[in-house]
Amino acid sequence: MHDKHSSCTHCGIAISDRASAIFSDKGEAFCCWGCETVYKILRKEHFSLINKPSTKLPEYDFLDNDSFLKDYLVSVDNMKGMRFFVEGIQCTACLWIIDQIPDWVPQVEKVHLNMSQNTLLVSMKESGYFGKVASVLSALGYKAYPIKNLDEAKHFQKKENHQQLMRLGIAAACTGTIMLFSFSLYSGLKGQMADVFGYLNLAFFIPILIYCAKPFYNNLWRSLKARRPSIDLPIVAAVIIGFVLSLFNLIRGNEAFYFDSLSVLIFLLLASRYFLSRTQQRFINSSYLQTFITSQTCRRWNSENHEYEQVPARHLNVDDKVLVEEGERIPADGAVVSEWVNINPSILTGESLPQKLFKGSEIFAGTQVVSDSVEILVKRTTDNSRIGQILKKVEEQIYNKTPLISLTDKAAQYFSIFVLAVGAVFFSFYITIDPGEAVKRTLALIILACPCALALAIPLTQSLSLRKASRKGYLIKNAESLEKLNYVKNAFFDKTGTLTQGKFEFLKWKSPDMKESRNFLPDMKTLNAIYSIEVNSQHPIARTLVKYLEGECVNKLPANSLTEIPGSGISGIVDNDHYKIISALPDDEDEDDSDIISSLTSIYRNGDLVAHACMGDMLHNDAKQTVAQLENMGIKTYILSGDKRIPVSSVAKKLHLADDQISPNLFPEKKNEIVKNFPDSLMVGDGANDSLAMSADTVSIAVQGSVESCLVAADIYVTKEGVSPVEDLIMLSKNTFSVVKRNLVFSFIYNSAGGLAALLGYISPLTAAILMPVSSLTVLFSSLLGTKFLRRFNK
Amino acid sequence: MTILYVIIPIAIFLVSFFVWIFLWAVRNEQFDDLETPAHKILIDDWNDRLKEAKI
């Protein structure tokens, strides 16, 4: 019904991505939450938002905790500030609405939104209101993550950015001047004046050689130390040899110098590298997010005051008693003290069914309390808890990740070895004929054969692709990950929360004969009866059903002679009718495409079956298509899940995956092992149990709504719902690398031709000055043209 | 050709001047965020609201 809306009702931007668009009840479409809110304000529908500030959400309480602030507070102009990474920033309306934050939270002095990085800096005179700011953001529809204050590291990174830009600027100025001066030489200037211009060229080349080209020396040194081939070797060789040769010629009064070609080369290389580094989303690196679990506060029982006090989770000790409210996460491993509790363990284990735990049973940190609050006795502190151990391993693995030797580096390595070998053969052969000419021609070969075009075009192609991806909401941490995606042969998906929505909820009713499931609805009398009986049950499945029925305007009637039936069921009498409600595992016969039924509840009235209630999880709409497309591309898809076999195989069945492509009942460590054993694998996940596998030597994608540890571990973070981004990203990577390969071929042809001409003695400084930029321009043109067809990607 | 003795110093001076301006701009964080200011210019009451806040 929304198909007529192809552009945002408020700002008019075309909606390219329907999944992230917002549709109102009246059928209007918006590109982002900012537009939706602004539109409502303009239509005066949303006055309450303007007048009264929204309430502070308890889930953001930890933001104002002293021990949390210690690591996250930044000082801005003598004020206290905090940086957030904000999801969902799209257009000017977002900027406008976020700029209104001081109106809702008067303590806020200033907000500064950086739209290119999606970061928000909030500053205020006194701390204590950051939780409120985050709550307002979430009320507006944005999700905000605090960014750790890394005073030194952050400062260093900023300085590094500035340095890069300054190098680029100085290289541009010097190159321009050198080219201007060289022009007179090429037009035939001779004599004393020619010498003056020669030395001026040298004078302007020295800052380039010493200051601007420094990153190349550093990179070369680093790659030599690590014994990894890199493109910097031929570049540095060409620059140094070219400089020495030109210097000799200048002193000897010979006009053959290459200052202009070399400076253009360095300038273009710096420029392409600067663009690439600007498009990489490095700010989501391992130091960016702390986990929720260690930074949240919890209520610890103080036996002296006989009340609960707020303490940070990491201050908990063994044998402390802690109260955890509904909806919160358990802060530490422990034992249940209360009579019972319903928990959702999916973050930790991937299991889709909520569990009921009784007094004394073990409860793990990170699991979420689904219904009613619980008291636990801490057995292991947050750091030593199961999730804490996993996170520690994740950090270790990220640190020890083997870097990819990129295609460019491989090509450069072979090419430079080839050129040096040809040079050596030529030199030893020609030295018997004319020693002076042999030296000259060999050096000209080395300078000209430098695959500069290669070093230039590939970063540019990659940065164009990264930019395309980030426009779509795919944040790629570095270009390496994009290249790795190109080689993927095996794709591993998590089930709960990745292929499915990750929520356990009521799905639909089914008639007693299990057929004609569509539009079947039990009558109001039955609904009332079910509600009246189930409301007395503590079972998680009953709770889910009750939650759904509460939204259906049911009435509570008196229910008598309630009996729990062992094996998850309850019976009772309402209005003189005897009802029996029994939950069971579903039979595997469901045909509906997206519903993953993990619990089938049968309702009997006076012994007759009247209806089935199906509860479970839902597949993402795009899951089936994505998996099919991946198979078409020759990528084998697997499901790795911590869940039981039945729900996993029912997902696999719907996605048409064979039995050997699923592995249920996996621990996080086991997932890691499986992924490690497959070469060229891709891990897609969302939970803490996936983060270990995601930090392995694979490329990994964290889907929308992932827990923080996943964002840290993953190479690519998707801010769009569903799994279709996986397909998009692989397509993008393949397209990018076909352009890269074409550039390699171009570059090879050019350099071979240039090298041959140099060996035959045809290369004068003028020819070099023309040949070098022309080859660079050709590949630049080729990459621009190549990424142009990537525009399809945006549609 | 003596004009070159005037033109070359002028060229060098101009280059240094522009490099100096560029370095100042970089240090002044003018290039740190290239996207947001482009949007900010579209918001009418940007400056009005600041004035209000000061009063």
Question: In whole angstroms, what is the distance from residue A302 CA to residue A262 CA?
Answer: 72
Instruction: Using pLDDT thresholds of 50, 70 and 90, give the confidence band for residue A153.
Output: low
- Structural contact between residues A454 and A778, judged by C-beta atoms closer than 8 angstroms: no
CATH 3.30.70.100 fits A1-148, yes or no: yes
Instruction: Using pLDDT thresholds of 50, 70 and 90, give the confidence band for residue A264.
Output: confident
Instruction: Using pLDDT thresholds of 50, 70 and 90, give the confidence band for residue A795.
Output: very low
The residues, ordered by sequence, that sit 6+ positions from A155 with a Cβ below 8 Å of its Cβ are none
Angle at A387 between CA A637 and CA A69, to 5 degrees: 120
Instruction: Using pLDDT thresholds of 50, 70 and 90, give the confidence band for residue A497.
Output: confident
- Tell me what pLDDT residue B12 has: 92
Chain B residues with CB-CB distance to A113 below 8 A: 36
- How many other C-beta atoms lie within 10 A of the C-beta of residue A402? 6
If one counts the domains in chain B, the total is 1
| CB nearest to B33's CB, from A116, A162, A166 | A116
- Tell me what pLDDT residue A588 has: 57
Across A700-705, average pLDDT: 82
Contact B27 A162 (CB under 8 A): yes
Chain A residues with CB-CB distance to B32 below 8 A: 114, 158, 161
What CATH superfamily is the domain A505-618?
Calcium-transporting ATPase, cytoplasmic domain N (3.40.1110.10)
| CB nearest to B36's CB, from A114, A162, A180 | A114
- Tell me what pLDDT residue A56 has: 67
Burial environment of residue A411 by CB neighbours within 10 A (0 to 12, 13 to 18, 19 or more): buried
Instruction: Using pLDDT thresholds of 50, 70 and 90, give the confidence band for residue A567.
Output: low
Contact B1 A193 (CB under 8 A): yes
- Tell me what pLDDT residue A571 has: 86
- Tell me what pLDDT residue B16 has: 94
SS3 state of residue A780: helix
Read off the tokens for A161.
């950015």
Angle at A186 between CA A180 and CA A192, to 5 degrees: 85
Contact A95 B43 (CB under 8 A): yes
Contact B15 A176 (CB under 8 A): yes
pLDDT at residue A287 above 50? Answer: no
- Structural contact between residues A32 and A24, judged by C-beta atoms closer than 8 angstroms: no
- Structural contact between residues A272 and A253, judged by C-beta atoms closer than 8 angstroms: no
Instruction: Using pLDDT thresholds of 50, 70 and 90, give the confidence band for residue A2.
Output: very low
Do you know the residue count of chain B?
A: 55
What is chain B's alpha carbon radius of gyration, rounded to the nearest angstrom? 20
pLDDT at residue A629 above 80? Answer: yes
pLDDT digits (tens, 9 = 90+) for A104-152: 788 888 888 887 777 888 888 877 788 888 888 877 777 777 776 655 5
- Structural contact between residues A156 and A89, judged by C-beta atoms closer than 8 angstroms: no
DSSP bridge partners of A583: A601
Helices A765-788, A724-759: axis angle to 10 degrees equals: 160
**What's the helix, strand, coil split of chain A in %, to 5?**
50, 20, 30
- Tell me what pLDDT residue A169 has: 95
Question: In whole angstroms, what is the distance from residue A245 CA to residue A249 CA?
Answer: 6
Across A646-663, average pLDDT: 84
Question: In whole angstroms, what is the distance from residue A175 CA to residue A265 CA?
Answer: 9
pLDDT at residue B20 above 90? Answer: yes
- Structural contact between residues A291 and A708, judged by C-beta atoms closer than 8 angstroms: yes
- Tell me what pLDDT residue A479 has: 82
Instruction: Using pLDDT thresholds of 50, 70 and 90, give the confidence band for residue A8.
Output: confident
Contact A95 B39 (CB under 8 A): yes
The 8-class DSSP code of residue A514 comes to: S
- Tell me what pLDDT residue A708 has: 67
The residues, ordered by sequence, that sit 6+ positions from A575 with a Cβ below 8 Å of its Cβ are A525, A529, A557
CB burial string A720-752: b at 16+ within 10 A, e below: bbbbbbbbbbbbbbebbbebbebbbebbbebbe
Whether the CB of A251 is below 8 Å from some CB of chain B: the reply is no
Single-letter amino acid code for the residue at A108: V
Whether the CB of A42 is below 8 Å from some CB of chain B: the reply is no
Whether the CB of A95 is below 8 Å from some CB of chain B: the reply is yes
Domain range holding B32? 4-54
- Tell me what pLDDT residue A166 has: 93
Residue ranges per structural domain of chain A: 1-148, 156-283+404-464+734-794, 292-387, 474-501+621-719, 505-618
Q: How far is CA A302 from CA A299, A307, A333, A334, in A?
A: 9, 6, 19, 17
Question: In whole angstroms, what is the distance from residue A704 CA to residue A117 CA?
Answer: 18
Question: In whole angstroms, what is the distance from residue A728 CA to residue A410 CA?
Answer: 26
- Structural contact between residues A715 and A478, judged by C-beta atoms closer than 8 angstroms: yes
Across A549-574, average pLDDT: 79
Shortest CA gap A202–chain B (Å): 14
The residues, ordered by sequence, that sit 6+ positions from A207 with a Cβ below 8 Å of its Cβ are A170, A174
**Which residues of B lie closer than 8 Å to A, measured between beta carbons?**
1, 4, 8, 11-12, 15, 18-19, 22-23, 26-27, 31-36, 39-40, 42-43, 53
Question: In whole angstroms, what is the distance from residue A686 CA to residue A361 CA?
Answer: 27
How far separated are the first and last CA of chain A, in Å rounded?
Answer: 20
Question: Could you tell me which chain A residue has the CA closest to the CA of B54?
Answer: A109
pLDDT at residue A4 above 50? Answer: no
Q: How far is CA A488 from CA A466, A481, A499, in A?
A: 18, 11, 19
State the sign of the Cα–Cα–Cα–Cα dihedral A28, A30, A33, A38: negative
Computed over every residue of chain A, the mean pLDDT equals 79
The 8-class DSSP code of residue A14 comes to: B
Contact B22 A166 (CB under 8 A): yes
Whether the CB of A169 is below 8 Å from some CB of chain B: the reply is yes
Read off the tokens for A136.
């307002």
Read off the tokens for A787.
């990424």
Across A339-358, average pLDDT: 78
pLDDT at residue A747 above 90? Answer: no
Chain A residues with CB-CB distance to B1 below 8 A: 193
Chain B residues with CB-CB distance to A467 below 8 A: none
Shortest CA gap B23–chain A (Å): 6
From the list A786, A465, A498, the residue with the least C-alpha distance to A655 is: A498
- Structural contact between residues A701 and A682, judged by C-beta atoms closer than 8 angstroms: yes
Across A454-476, average pLDDT: 81
DSSP element (H, E) containing A789: none
Q: Which residue has the tokens 């929505």?
A: A501
Shortest CA gap B17–chain A (Å): 10
Higher pLDDT pick, A562 / A228 = A562
Chain A residues with CB-CB distance to B35 below 8 A: 114-116
Contact B4 A193 (CB under 8 A): yes
The 8-class DSSP code of residue A332 comes to: S
The 8-class DSSP code of residue A717 comes to: E
- Tell me what pLDDT residue A58 has: 66
Question: Could you tell me which chain B residue has the CA closest to the CA of A102?
Answer: B53
DSSP element (H, E) containing A733: helix A724-759
ipTM value > 0.85: no
From the list A261, A283, A263, the residue with the least C-alpha distance to A271 is: A263
Q: Which residue has the tokens 């319903």?
A: A342
Question: In whole angstroms, what is the distance from residue A733 CA to residue A483 CA?
Answer: 6
State the sign of the Cα–Cα–Cα–Cα dihedral B9, B15, B17, B23: negative
Question: Could you tell me which chain B residue has the CA closest to the CA of A163?
Answer: B26
Choose from A124, A165, A187, A279 for mutation: most chain B CBs within 10 A: A165
Chain A residues with CB-CB distance to B34 below 8 A: 116
Contact A165 B39 (CB under 8 A): no
Residues 149-168 of A with CB under 8 A from B: 158, 161-162, 165-166
From the list A118, A16, A31, the residue with the least C-alpha distance to A475 is: A118
Shortest CA gap B47–chain A (Å): 12
pLDDT at residue A1 above 50? Answer: no
Across A662-677, average pLDDT: 85
Contact B19 A170 (CB under 8 A): yes
Contact B36 A193 (CB under 8 A): no
Least confident of A74-78, A208-212, A474-478: A74-78
Read off the tokens for A378.
């801490």
Count Cβ–Cβ pairs < 8 Å, chain A vs chain B: 54
% chain A with pLDDT above 90: 5
Angle at A262 between CA A258 and CA A268, to 5 degrees: 150
Residues 198-227 of A with CB under 8 A from B: 200
Q: Which fold has domain A292-387?
A: 2.70.150
Least confident of A313-322, A347-356, A698-707: A347-356
Higher pLDDT pick, B13 / A21 = B13
Do you know the residue count of chain A?
A: 795
Shortest CA gap A266–chain B (Å): 17
pLDDT digits (tens, 9 = 90+) for A191-225: 788 888 889 999 999 999 999 999 999 988 988 88
Instruction: Using pLDDT thresholds of 50, 70 and 90, give the confidence band for residue A288.
Output: very low
SS3 state of residue A60: helix
Contact A169 B23 (CB under 8 A): yes
% chain A with pLDDT above 70: 86
pLDDT at residue A661 above 80? Answer: yes
| CB nearest to B19's CB, from A102, A161, A169 | A169
- How many other C-beta atoms lie within 10 A of the C-beta of residue A174? 26
pLDDT digits (tens, 9 = 90+) for A156-191: 667 778 888 999 999 999 999 998 888 888 888 777
- Structural contact between residues A684 and A491, judged by C-beta atoms closer than 8 angstroms: yes
Concatenated DSSP letters of A185-233: HHTT--SHHHHHHHHHHHHHHHHIIIIITHHHHHHHHHHHHTT---THH
Chain B residues with CB-CB distance to A180 below 8 A: 11
Which CATH number does A474-501+621-719 carry? Answer: 3.40.50.1000
The 8-class DSSP code of residue A756 comes to: H
Contacts of residues A394-397 at CB distance under 8 Å and 24 or more positions apart, as own/partner, are A394/A691, A394/A692, A394/A694, A394/A695, A394/A709, A394/A712, A394/A713, A395/A286, A395/A695, A395/A712, A397/A672, A397/A692, A397/A695, A397/A696, A397/A713
Instruction: Using pLDDT thresholds of 50, 70 and 90, give the confidence band for residue A3.
Output: very low
Higher pLDDT pick, A19 / A468 = A468
Chain A residues with CB-CB distance to B18 below 8 A: 173
Chain B residues with CB-CB distance to A116 below 8 A: 33-36
Instruction: Using pLDDT thresholds of 50, 70 and 90, give the confidence band for residue A296.
Output: low
Question: Could you tell me which chain B residue has the CA closest to the CA of A166?
Answer: B23
